[in-house]
Amino acid sequence: MDTQRLHIAIQKSGRLAERSLELIRAAGYRLNKSAGELSYSVENAPIDLWCVRDDDIPTFVADGVADLGIVGRNVLAERESAGRDGLAEVMPLGFGRCKLCIAAPEGFSYDGPGALRGARIATTYPNLLSRFLKEQGVEAEIVTMRGAVEVAPRLKLADFICDLVSTGATLESNGLAVLDTILQSEAVLVRNARTLASDLAHVADSMIARFRGVVASQDAKYVMMNAPSAALPRISEILPGAGAPTVMPLAGREGWVAVHAVCQESVFWETLEALKAVGATAILVLSIEKMM
Ligand SMILES: Nc1ncnc2c1ncn2[C@@H]1O[C@H](COP(=O)(O)OP(=O)(O)OP(=O)(O)O)[C@@H](O)[C@H]1O
Ligand SMILES: O=P(O)(O)OC[C@H]1O[C@H](OP(=O)(O)OP(=O)(O)O)[C@H](O)[C@@H]1O
Ligand SMILES: [Mg+2]
């Protein structure tokens, strides 16, 4: 292993693979694929990517084989629930959003975790589920599966399941419905708890700062408008996550100003309608390419 280069573990193929590569490219890193297709080297920085199964990413990073990794928080939390440490979540990355839920055949009436007492629950997340049940003071039997847990109730293997849900389509097509949520997940950047050699620490810090910029600019918009100065307090309330907007006088229009703001949250049509209603005109919403 080249100790002069930073190593990042990402998913080889699957739900996080493409978005992980997109994030790295959006942060300005030019990628060259290796012949075997299981790694990339970055052309313009001392960084290599290793493409592996997502379940292996926490171990790679914890053992120091990779310095950073991109993995679902669910995978990280499952490892932590098993009592294994050595890893720290650096930042959420804004993709791969899903939740780990307990679900039952549609129509089951649920009045809280006590309803799970004595039941059989099928899951691929036995440690997270076990921690949840302990916290709730509920004893239940955990049936550990490798996948396709949605079929377990139909096969009478289990009464309930505990699995990832995003759109809910998989549950619905199996006649199941969510009862409770154990964990909100998305892809996260993880790093080893030990300190990196100083030149590699510099490369890692720069990559993390760029990732923060890419993630922050994903939802962020630059909003511009003209408005009567009297409407400024209302405009500040309406603009989502704008902080302090820039206000400039409008030449030749007494009592009017131009307002510019970076909004950190999504700007919807309803936001524009609300701005118009308080007197704003010429409202422009622009995408932000980079932010730091
Ligand atoms: N339905 C979903 N919607 C959004 N994100 C999801 C969904 N299902 C899973 N994820 C997230 O994507 C991660 C990878 O999911 P995927 O199904 O590709 O994993 P896998 O089958 O375990 O892949 P691997 O072959 O790498 O082991 C999950 O750990 C989770 O964080
Ligand atoms: O709520 P939904 O949008 O339907 O998504 C939920 C499904 O997505 C995941 O599986 P995936 O499709 O990744 O297949 P896998 O079980 O082979 O990993 C998860 O295990 C659920 O089965
Ligand atoms: Mg996996």
Q: Would residue 225 count as lying in a domain?
A: yes
Atom 6 in ligand 2: residue holding the nearest Cα: 165
DSSP structure class, residue 38: S
- Judge if 51 and 24 occupy the same domain: yes
47-52 β-sheet, strand order: 31-33, 39-42, 47-52, 6-11, 68-72, 187-192, 87-92
Q: One digit per residue, pLDDT tens: the chain, 292 residues? A: 677 899 999 999 999 999 999 999 999 999 999 877 799 999 999 999 999 999 999 999 999 999 999 999 999 999 999 999 889 999 999 999 999 999 999 999 999 999 999 999 999 999 999 999 999 999 999 999 999 999 999 999 999 999 999 999 999 999 999 999 999 999 999 998 887 888 899 999 999 999 999 999 988 999 999 999 999 999 999 998 877 899 999 999 999 999 999 998 888 899 999 999 999 999 999 999 888 8
Domain range holding 269?
Answer: 220-287
User: On the CB side of 163, how many CA atoms lie within 13 Å of its CA?
Assistant: 30
| Residue 35 CA to ligand 3 centre (angstroms) | 24
Dihedral, CA of residue 283, residue 284, residue 288 and residue 292, to nearest 10? -40
- Judge if 196 and 229 occupy the same domain: no
- pTM of the full structure: 0.88
- The CATH number linked to 235 is 3.30.70.120
Instruction: Name the residue of 12, 15, 172 to mutate for ligand 1: max ligand atoms within 8 A of Cβ.
Output: 15
What gap in Å lies between CA 47 and CA 263, rounded to an integer?
Answer: 33
Does the CB atom of residue 55 touch ligand 1 within 6 A?
yes
| Residue 202 CA to ligand 3 centre (angstroms) | 31
- Judge if 149 and 229 occupy the same domain: no
Phi and psi, residue 230, nearest 5°: -65, -20
